[in-house]
Structure 1
Amino acid sequence: MEIVHVYTKLRGEFGRQCHFSDRPAELLLDVPPEPSLAPHFIHKTPRDQSVQAGQDMSEHQVNTERFETDSCGINHVEGGWPKDVNPQEMEQTIRFRKKVEKDESYINSILQLGSVMEHCIRQNNAVDIYQEYFEDEEEVEENQEPPSAKTINVYRDPNGVKRTVSGLSWHPDGGRKLAAAYCCLQFQRTPRDTSLDSYIWDIENPNRPEMSLKPASPLVCLDYNPKDPHTLVGGSYNGQIAYWDTRRGSQPVETSSVEQSHRDPVYKTIWLQSKTGTDTFSASTDGQVLWWDVRRLSEPTERLVLDPNREGNLDRALGAVSLEFESTMPTKFMVGTEQGVVVSCNRKAKTPAEKLVCLYEGHHGPVYGLQRNPFFPKNFLTVGDWTARIWSEDIKESSIMWTRYQMSYLMDACWSPVRPSVFFTVKMDGVLDVWDILFKQNDPTLSVKVCDDALYSLRLQDNGRLVAVGSQQGGATLLELCSGLSSLQKNEKSLLAAMFERETKREKILEARQREMRLKERSRSEQSREDEASGRNQDGDESPDQLIARTENDFYVVTETELKRRREREEQNNKEKDVCEEKEVKEEETQ
């Protein structure tokens, strides 16, 4: 049995029926204005506004005349010979040439044609009309857009108690994932219910992390293995080193023992370029640099104490907060310390004392950021206190370039992997600064207010297009840079090389001058001590007491001479006055 429901409705409930027809416009309703309501409204200046929603389009047709082409050829033979001369016969042509050359008009014709041909030949040698002057020039589109950066996504800490994003690392295979380490860096201020997890985010999904990493202690730093994108190494707050394989889950594959690990938080871990791809080394504020093999984390393979006296004393060691390693220089690495000193080290040195090559002193506070320029490895960037500095390995006394002091503390910095003259810094006021030292050195090229919280970490993608920054309240912000900041500019490498060379020479000259001034000051101090007994100073002059006595004597001599001259002048004036009076008396007597 089929059930059918029928719904009925009266025609009058549908409303007024619409009747469409072609007819002229007619006035249906006219509402006159009400003057009493005018004070309740604001008079608006009339303006024209288009209300047509469709786009105006037009169609044109043009008929052109048909042009037919035809292929044809031409047969060129040697001409200019008289009819009685066959150009194929050598004897006839030679006989005709000799006859023409004996003619008197032949020489005149040659002289006239010679000047014309000479002009054409010189013009042809001077200007080559077929030369392409700009064939080697690359077609470069002039990009006049101002530098800019836009926020793509924000990855927030999913826990209730927000923690600082202390470390970031991009996935080595295309940068599709971002690993973030979360840790509360304030000493003994971590709440009890704070989560220990760190996360790996898919950059396309900011809602929840793709994977969680569960260490025994909060991670301060995290780094992807460039040879194996499934493995990561992290440094914990309690000094341990942990190793993950994302194919095995969230738990660490292996963790270093507390007895053989660092005594302070591990602020930086870096993978080494080795054949096995399992070697890494770490740095901590306990003053040690430890080398590890992640296949066996029971104890470090090598240990270095950052004692500036090169005695290996851990009590006097400099606390490490940043680390730098360049794969093109496998024996060298650099350490940034809490004391504002950058230590250049050589791993392959024979003794621990020789491993500390030199010290670069230039910051008032900890060196939070340290990185070599990827295009010019001899020059490296440091960030500490309120300024960023660019150094050269050849100059140990001071940096070759530096920014002015900022209003907020700088926490991290890195070079652009694409543009050699661009580097990035983050500050505690939530601002990301982009510096282009070829464009200007006093101020950043671009400043972006990322958030209201302090920014602690910074990392760029390998293609230089995306930059990730981590804040104090657990937010990792992903920004996309404009093409001008993420593409290599024309002659940028050569211009920056010339700038670095010029600034290095300038610092060398200033360093030599200061060294010379110190030597002169030292020699003067030694000479002054030798001349004290003889009563003379280092310039060969008299002692201060002798100078005072001689000055007093000269003063009295000058004073007596001036008084004597004045007395003689008064006597002379008196004599002249007496003579004048005698003359006047004689004149009166004669009258």
Structure 2
Amino acid sequence: MNFISHGMNHVEGGWPKDIDHENMEQTIRFRKKAGKNEAYISSILQLGSVMELCIRQNNAIDKYEQYFEDEEEEEENHNAPYAKTMNVLRDPHQVKRTVTSLSWSPDRGRKLAAAYSSVVFQQTSQLSTDSYIWDIEKPSIPEMVLKPPSPLVCLEYNPRVSYTLMGGCYNGQVAYWDTRRGCQTVAYSSVEHSHKDPVYKVIWLQSKTGTDAFSASTDGQVLWWDVRKLSEPTERLILDLSKEGNLGGALGGISLEFEITMPTKFMVGTEEGLIISCNRKAKTPAEKIVCTYDGHRGSVYAVQRNPFLPKNFLTVGDWCARIWSEDIKESSIINTKNGVSELMDACWSPVRPSVFFTVKMNGVLDIWDILFNQSDPTLSVKVCDGGLYSIRVEENGRLVACGSEKGEATLLEISSGLSVPQKNEKSLVAAMFERETKREKILMGRQREIRLKERCRSEQSREEEVVREDGEESPQELLARAEKDFYSMVEVELKRRRKGKDLIEEQVVSEDKQT
């Protein structure tokens, strides 16, 4: 069944054709003019008494008041958790491509932007470059087709302006759309000043203008952009841990994290398994790289701070998910068990501090509630037969979108027990994170003590060995010393015997004298 949307241009209840509804001066001028109209004034006076009666009734009784709200929520939360499929948004292209990125629109979450590209090397030339914006209530056809210069690897709605999007392309360019102007890009970066590898993540910054963003790529660069002038980046950071700015030795960025409550900080997940913590406002490029976390054995596909407790962040790579504390660089404070299938993406729940989601290559969505269980997921759902590559949770926490390698974006509705905030949940999670952080600090301190003792012991044994080596004699010297010791012992024995013989002779002489 195909659905088609039609629009109409009307005057009643809307703005006239000659009035630009986005121009504040024109709308204010039109309102003042309409307010002086005699017909308008008489209508308001006639309807005033009727409206006053309705307003008084509305103030007297709240017909939407809910009684026993807590008991209803408690009863719902005791039910078994579930996730049911609401819709499946399929790639209209004949050759199906992987849904590499998803983004919910900030206005009530009715629209979902999906980026489609191939994850197979050198296969993009054979495929379409189109990506889509879907209306989740009309899943048969996309609401809008986005036309990038190269297949999109990532795509993000502007959280402040719902009709603008920014995407990162497979060839390293970044592109910008204004949906009011149609499917074509408003602007895109030049190849010369763009990334040299695919752009795996783009994030909008919370600036005054709402036009700033930054991107990460496996070419080892983080670039900042102003969509009003996309010809070249406004700022550049090379992810070289030696802090020499050498692009040849830089680590490839594959995920980004930015929290609006920490406007100067951001984190980069790398191909090498490290998480790099950075400070954008540092004085020199070398000082912008603050520290690193040795996270995973493989690429770090996702990094996200807890929206309620931003000092703790979630990472996904290889076969497990880890939760970290900013205070501990050596190890995570909580980690899941290693599974059979590789994890590809993860995100926190926007409404519950203890809930996060992970997707795996076997097509399974895992929902974790770490207050309930840290060793096993609270709910595991087989979403599709192919691998899942991306996930994004809607702002209200009830809808979850999962992107697969077969070009399907599956929408799931999760139960209220996993999407409704619990009493004292934030304080309980904060206490748990604090407890795990203290435990990890104690363990790390104990390990440092053991390593220090082993180092001291090894240094002491090395010194003793050096002393032995310094005092070691040759075989000739040993033989000469042995001969000397032997002759000295013989001489001592001869002296002893000679002395004893003299004593015996003296005794014999004395006895003869007495007789």
TM-score class normalised by the smaller sequence:
0.7 to 0.9
What secondary structure sits across from 1:434 in the alignment?
A: strand
Kindly provide the CA deviation profile for residues 125-175 of structure 1, in whole angstroms up to 9, marking residues without a partner as x: xxxxxxxxxxxx965633321010000000000010100000000000100
Measure the CA separation in 2 of the matches of 1:445 and 1:215.
39
What secondary structure sits across from 1:399 in the alignment?
A: coil
What secondary structure sits across from 2:454 in the alignment?
A: helix
Aligned length: 399
Q: Which runs of 5 or more structure 2 residues have no equivalent in the other structure?
A: 1-68, 470-515
TM-score, normalization by structure 2 = 0.76
Q: Which runs of 5 or more structure 1 residues have no equivalent in the other structure?
A: 1-136, 537-591
Measure the CA separation in 2 of the matches of 1:452 and 1:370.
26
Task: Say whether residues 1:332 and 2:268 are aligned partners.
Answer: no
Residue 535 of structure 1, CA deviation: 4.4
TM-score, normalization by structure 1 = 0.67
Residue 498 of structure 1, CA deviation: 0.9
Aligned AA (2:395): D
Aligned AA (2:269): G
Task: Say whether residues 1:224 and 2:224 are aligned partners.
Answer: no
Kindly provide the CA deviation profile for residues 453-477 of structure 1, in whole angstroms up to 9, marking residues without a partner as x: 1000000000000000000010000
If each structure's helix is expressed as a fraction of its own residues, which one has the higher value?
2
Measure the CA separation in 1 of the matches of 2:456 and 2:286.
32
Could you tell me which residue of structure 1 aligns to residue 338 of structure 2?
A: 405
Which residue among 203, 217, 227 is the counterpart of 1:294? Answer: 227
Could you tell me which residue of structure 1 aligns to residue 437 of structure 2?
A: 504
Measure the CA separation in 1 of the matches of 2:466 and 2:348.
60
Which residue among 101, 104, 120 is the counterpart of 1:167? Answer: 101
Kindly provide the CA deviation profile for residues 448-507 of structure 1, in whole angstroms up to 9, marking residues without a partner as x: 000001000000000000000000010000000101000001121111111100100011
Give the fraction of aligned pairs with identical amino acids, expressed as a percent. 74
Task: Say whether residues 1:278 and 2:221 are aligned partners.
Answer: no
Could you tell me which residue of structure 2 aligns to residue 357 of structure 1?
A: 290
Could you tell me which residue of structure 1 aligns to residue 376 of structure 2?
A: 443
Residue 524 of structure 1, CA deviation: 1.5
Measure the CA separation in 2 of the matches of 1:377 and 1:141.
28
Which residue among 40, 64, 87 is the counterpart of 1:153? Answer: 87
Aligned AA (1:532): E
Contact 2:100 2:115 in 1 (8 A): yes
What secondary structure sits across from 1:412 in the alignment?
A: strand
Which residues of 2 match residues 167-206 of structure 1 at below 5 A? Answer: 167-190=101-124, 192=126, 194-206=127-139
Task: Say whether residues 1:371 and 2:304 are aligned partners.
Answer: yes
Measure the CA separation in 2 of the matches of 1:366 and 1:476.
23
**How large is the RMSD of aligned CA atoms in angstroms?**
1.2
Larger radius of gyration: 1
Measure the CA separation in 2 of the matches of 1:392 and 1:172.
29
What secondary structure sits across from 2:344 in the alignment?
A: strand
What secondary structure sits across from 1:196 in the alignment?
A: coil
Which residue among 130, 141, 149 is the counterpart of 1:208? Answer: 141
Could you tell me which residue of structure 1 aligns to residue 321 of structure 2?
A: 388
Task: Say whether residues 1:492 and 2:425 are aligned partners.
Answer: yes
Closer, same or farther: CA 509–228 of 1 in aligned 2, 3 Å: same
Measure the CA separation in 1 of the matches of 2:124 and 2:234.
32
Which residue among 444, 453, 460 is the counterpart of 2:393? Answer: 460
Give structure 1 regions of 4+ aligned residues with deviation exceeding 6 angstroms.
none
Could you tell me which residue of structure 2 aligns to residue 472 of structure 1?
A: 405
Which residues of 2 match residues 536-551 of structure 1 at below 5 A? Answer: none
Measure the CA separation in 1 of the matches of 2:96 and 2:194.
27
Residue 515 of structure 1, CA deviation: 1.3
Which residue among 150, 156, 169 is the counterpart of 1:236? Answer: 169
Measure the CA separation in 2 of the matches of 1:235 and 1:164.
15
Contact 2:175 2:188 in 1 (8 A): yes
Could you tell me which residue of structure 1 aligns to residue 513 of structure 2?
A: none
Measure the CA separation in 2 of the matches of 1:353 and 1:404.
36
Kindly provide the CA deviation profile for residues 330-389 of structure 1, in whole angstroms up to 9, marking residues without a partner as x: 000000000000000000000111100000002000000110000000000000000000
Aligned AA (1:291): W
Measure the CA separation in 2 of the matches of 1:334 and 1:282.
12
Measure the CA separation in 2 of the matches of 1:494 and 1:338.
35
Measure the CA separation in 1 of the matches of 2:169 and 2:74.
48
Residue 310 of structure 1, CA deviation: 1.1
What secondary structure sits across from 1:344 in the alignment?
A: strand
Could you tell me which residue of structure 1 aligns to residue 249 of structure 2?
A: 316
Measure the CA separation in 1 of the matches of 2:182 and 2:342.
38
Aligned AA (2:101): G
Measure the CA separation in 1 of the matches of 2:74 and 2:464.
73
What secondary structure sits across from 1:464 in the alignment?
A: coil
Larger relative contact order (Cα-Cα within 8 Å, sequence gap ≥ 6):
2
Could you tell me which residue of structure 1 aligns to residue 278 of structure 2?
A: 345
What secondary structure sits across from 1:333 in the alignment?
A: strand
Measure the CA separation in 2 of the matches of 1:464 and 1:252.
31
What secondary structure sits across from 1:523 in the alignment?
A: helix
Could you tell me which residue of structure 1 aligns to residue 351 of structure 2?
A: 418
Kindly provide the CA deviation profile for residues 506-547 of structure 1, in whole angstroms up to 9, marking residues without a partner as x: 1101111111122212212211121114449xxxxxxxxxxx
Which residues of 2 match residues 87-102 of structure 1 at below 5 A? Answer: none
